[in-house]
Structure 1
Amino acid sequence: MTVLVTGGAGFIGSHLAEAFLEDGREVVVIDPLDPYYDTDIKRRNIDRCRSVGGDRYEFVDGSITDEALVRDLVSSRDVEYVFHQAAQAGVRTSVENPKKPHEINTTGLLNLLLAAEEAGVERFVNASSSSVYGEMEYLPYDEDHQNVPQSPYGVTKLTAEHYCRVWTDVYDVPTVSLRYFTVYGPRMRPNMAITNFTSRCLNGEPPVIYGDGQQTRDFTYVDDIVEANRSLLETDAADGEAMNVGSTGNITIEELAEHIVEETGADVDLEYAEAKEADARHTHADVSKATDLIGYEPTTTIREGVSRFVDWYRENRDWYEPLVLNS
Structure 2
Amino acid sequence: MKKILVTGADGFIGSHLTEQLVRQGYHVRAFVNYNSFNSWGWLDESPKEITKNIEVFAGDIRDPHGIKVAMQGCSHVLNLAALIAIPYSYHSPDTYVDTNIKGTLNIVQAARELDVEKVVHTSTSEVYGTALYVPIDEEHPLQGQSPYSASKIGADQMALSFYRSFDTPVAVIRPFNTYGPRQSARAVIPTIITQLAAGKENIKLGAISPTRDFNYVMDTVSGFISVMNSEKSIGEVINIGSNYEVSIGDTAKMIAEVMGKKIEIETDEVRLRPEKSEVNRLWADNQKAKQLLDWEPQYGGVEGFKRGLQETAEWFSNPKNLAQYKADEYNI
- TM exceeds 0.5? yes
Which deviates more, 271-280 or 228-237? 271-280
Match runs of 1:155-166 below 5 Å: 155-166=150-161
Q: 1:82 and 2:77 equivalent?
A: yes
Aligned to 2:263: 268
Q: Structure 1: how far apart are the matches of 2:28 and 2:142?
A: 34
Residue type at the aligned position of 2:129: G
Match runs of 1:139-288 below 5 Å: 139-205=134-200, 206-211=202-207, 213-274=208-269, 275-277=272-274, 278-288=277-287
Compared with structure 1, are the counterparts of its residues 164 and 290 closer, same or farther at alpha carbon in structure 2 (3 Å cutoff)?
Answer: same
- From 317, 320, 323, the counterpart of 2:322: 320
Q: Structure 2: how far apart are the matches of 1:203 and 1:291?
A: 39
Shift of 1:33: 5.6
Residue type at the aligned position of 1:27: V
Shift of 1:322: 4.2
Q: Structure 2: how far apart are the matches of 1:132 and 1:47?
A: 31
Q: Structure 2: how far apart are the matches of 1:49 and 1:169?
A: 41
Compared with structure 1, are the counterparts of its residues 218 and 72 closer, same or farther at alpha carbon in structure 2 (3 Å cutoff)?
Answer: same
- From 289, 302, 305, the counterpart of 1:302: 305
- The alignment-based identity, stated in percent, is 28
Q: Structure 1: how far apart are the matches of 2:103 and 2:135?
A: 31
Shift of 1:43: 3.3
Residue type at the aligned position of 1:317: P
Residue type at the aligned position of 2:147: P
Residue type at the aligned position of 2:282: T
Aligned to 2:314: 311
Note the alpha carbon deviations across 1:152-195, whole angstroms, 9 max, x for none.
Answer: 11111111221222211221211111111111111111221111
Q: 1:67 and 2:69 equivalent?
A: no
Shift of 1:302: 2.0
Aligned to 1:48: 46
- Does structure 1 retain, via aligned residues, the 8 Å contact 2:121–2:172? yes
- Does structure 1 retain, via aligned residues, the 8 Å contact 2:213–2:282? yes
Structure 2 gap segments, 5+ residues each: none
Residue type at the aligned position of 2:4: V
Residue type at the aligned position of 1:3: I
Compared with structure 1, are the counterparts of its residues 232 and 144 closer, same or farther at alpha carbon in structure 2 (3 Å cutoff)?
Answer: closer
Which deviates more, 105-114 or 185-194? 185-194
- Does structure 1 retain, via aligned residues, the 8 Å contact 2:173–2:227? no
Shift of 1:147: 0.9
Shift of 1:108: 0.8
Match runs of 1:54-133 below 5 Å: 54=52, 56-75=53-72, 78-133=73-128
Residue type at the aligned position of 1:281: N
Shift of 1:28: 0.7
Runs of 4+ in structure 1 deviating by more than 6 angstroms, as ranges, are: none
RMSD, matched Cα: 2.1
Q: Structure 2: how far apart are the matches of 1:125 and 1:34?
A: 25
1:276 is paired with a residue whose SS is coil
Q: Structure 2: how far apart are the matches of 1:81 and 1:46?
A: 24
Structure 1 gap segments, 5+ residues each: none
Q: Structure 2: how far apart are the matches of 1:3 and 1:143?
A: 26
Compared with structure 1, are the counterparts of its residues 10 and 50 closer, same or farther at alpha carbon in structure 2 (3 Å cutoff)?
Answer: farther
Q: 1:27 and 2:22 equivalent?
A: no
Q: Structure 1: how far apart are the matches of 2:132 and 2:192?
A: 30
Shift of 1:53: 4.7
Q: Structure 2: how far apart are the matches of 1:5 and 1:72?
A: 14
- Does structure 1 retain, via aligned residues, the 8 Å contact 2:130–2:282? no
Count of aligned pairs? 319
Shift of 1:49: 6.1
Q: Structure 1: how far apart are the matches of 2:106 and 2:48?
A: 27
Shift of 1:135: 3.7
